[in-house]
A and B are shown apart, each in its own frame.
Chain A
């Protein structure tokens, strides 16, 4: 009866697959435990707490508004951190441009006159956000501020038993202004106005470049080790450094080509700008690729099969999506889980790409240094290990 042979054959395949899996404990670990550990770390490390907006209040000279930061801190609540109250606008703007603060609220210079003219007094809220989510949060905060100020004014007026707001004659106030004497207008000073597509495109590019670098190197070295091709290198006069430089150069060129093609498509088909200098952007691409290749080499040197190398590369991708700031801001993770983010090249890659492409300059240029340092450390480690492999530690 042929039908009875069916389970025999299926069971044979199951047995074979299981045995293959179990004889590669490293692969099983990375396959099963890897995602579990990522989930666990995510659960433990994610706080969900938004970073308060560092805010400066600009009160024009001669106005009645309070100069006490505590007053504004009480009005703004925990979503903002009042850094100072000042009469000067230029200073805070410079700080905003440097990224030291994230919001400036400018009180209206002629609130009374505006109200007398029957107009709402306008609070100008200045931000410098590329991130559409943060921009949205800034708008909500601005609206909240305006509402709280309105509420404060109305309460104050009621408490004082007046029929007018401040010293404005009652006849001058339009009825609809009694509840909302002020309104907030948000002005985003970022050179590129935030949108999901614009903001995430550089991040996707950084993630793609890191994954490309990791996967290609990890597979290339593992394949050469397992196929025996490494013996060709072992016998030949080539040194570990020459071999590494050759591999790095190849993938750096590939990374640049991918970055160039992606940026070209992004700019021409999707309207995503490269506001910064192309040469600096190229340096950022090379540094991200350099660091990513190091991660790939590390994977290739600890993997005992192509399967494991692929799994580890996918695991790094998973970790990158969760922890690098690609989806959730890095600062919403607590230490030591946040340290994972700071160890990933893509964390810096995303930030640097977004700043160079969308802002036109890299505010946190130290990140380029970190990328270079990660790359250099991994390169040195890989060179040492590869030297051992080539010259017969086996």
Chain B
């Protein structure tokens, strides 16, 4: 997509988003509630027209998807929108038929997909009688039943307990390994870890788009080391050490150090600490949480705007 934007009256829900997603990856659209993730996803599915910009999915504008292209796309909406009075099996079968699947294949495929999401034993139960987690899995089954090449999944883990969230991500990973492309929105920033590519969104703007590792490096400007000392220490002790890009104090005996080359910097840091503040108790690579990455990016973005 290039320069994609969507406005609702005076509100700019999505602003000038440009990104390209290769096939066979999980791309996470990550950001807090109201950041424009769902709007972006709906534009990509063709259910919402962009105000400006260009979008292409499988080489076609979502706005003008041909029936054949639609057959290769799956969508799991944020809310449970299937039919509460139909059973799990009937719901999935209905969606399969909408995508043009013939009865014989449909029967087999519905069973398969319900088994895949662990709902095989409740396939005869009405959707209204399923738990919230089961309903999410049913929606996922409905989105998968026609074996789409591209799958748009809106908040698949919202409202699920951590165990179920883990299962959903495992399932999504399996689909990606199967060669499918997945666009997954989540408001749990930490879930970005599960994606191959992460698009961080805030206030309708794309803050960053990269792999999780690249994002960490991008945020801190290099490789990050977590240095713990045996005695109290300040960031000044590393003032003379070459190739250090940043040093942050995290407690009286802990420093977070950003370096262009962590392997080369490690002995220098040990030596500098040994000269002035006792010994280094531990030094190891530091993986900041995505909450941390996101917070830094949002703050930096706000500063840039203010400037």
Contact = CB atoms under 8 A, between A and B. Distances in A.
Contacts of B45: 234-235
B47 A231 contact: yes
A7 interface: no
Contacts of A233: 98
Contact of B63 (A228, A237, A392, A394): A392
B81 A231 contact: yes
B81 A237 contact: no
A391 interface: yes
B257 to A, nearest CB: 48
B98 A236 contact: yes
A228 B46 contact: no
B82 A229 contact: yes
Given A233-B98, A236-B98, A237-B67, A391 B46 contact: yes
Contact of B71 (A227, A237, A392): A237
A239 B95 CA distance: 14
B226 to A, nearest CB: 45
Interface stretch (B72-80, B130-138, B187-195): B72-80
Contacts, number: 52
B77 A228 contact: yes
A267 interface: no
Nearest to B69: A237
A236 B81 contact: no
Interface residues of B, number: 23
Given A237-B100, A391-B46, A228 B70 contact: no
B56 interface: no
B241 interface: no
Nearest to A239: B67
A238 B100 CA distance: 9
B48 A394 contact: yes
A234 B67 CA distance: 11
A232 interface: yes
B98 A232 contact: yes
Interface in B38-96: 45-49, 63, 67-68, 70-71, 73-75, 77, 79, 81-83, 95
B99 interface: yes
B79 A235 contact: no
A231 B154 CA distance: 12
Interface of B: 45-49, 63, 67-68, 70-71, 73-75, 77, 79, 81-83, 95, 98-100, 142
Given A234-B47, A235-B74, A237-B98, 9 more contacts: A227-B81, A228-B81, A231-B47, A231-B77, A232-B142, A236-B98, A391-B46, A391-B63, A392-B48
13 contacts: A229-B81, A231-B77, A231-B81, A232-B95, A232-B142, A234-B46, A235-B45, A235-B70, A235-B73, A235-B75, A237-B68, A391-B63, A392-B47
